[in-house]
Amino acid sequence: MMMLISCIIMFILGNMIFVSKHKHLLIVLMSLEFIVLSIFFLMVIILLSIDFSMYMLMIFLVFSVCEGALGLSILVSMIRTYGNDYFQSFNLL
């Protein structure tokens, strides 16, 4: 029960960081990875408690790695183009 509560607290803290630190792309990407990690731990706890197979976790890890690689490529592209990772430095229109 304590591990379940800690996973939920991790998820809430990741969301709070995501909402409050929206100026830097790197911090936003790190908070998204923290949220994905907390969801992974939550899925592990739930799947172990109901004695279910772990194939869904492998699919989840594949998609989270793809999401991380895509975020890092966007970060590198933005830094090469604009020189920093501030969202204010480029025009969205």
Q: How confident is the model at residue 93 (pLDDT cuts 50, 70, 90)?
A: very low
Domain boundaries, the chain: 2-89
DSSP calls for 9-49: HHHHHHHHHHHH--SBHHHHHHHHHHHHHHHHHHHHHHHHH
pLDDT single digits (tens) 29-38: 999 999 999 9
Q: Which two tokens stand for residue 27?
A: 């911090």
Band (pLDDT 50/70/90 cuts) for residue 51 is confident
Q: Whole-model pTM?
A: 0.84
3-state secondary structure of 46: helix
**What is the rounded average pLDDT of the residues 59-65?**
93
More confident of the two residues 87 and 72: 72
User: What is the architecture of the domain spanning 2-89?
Assistant: Orthogonal Bundle (1.10)
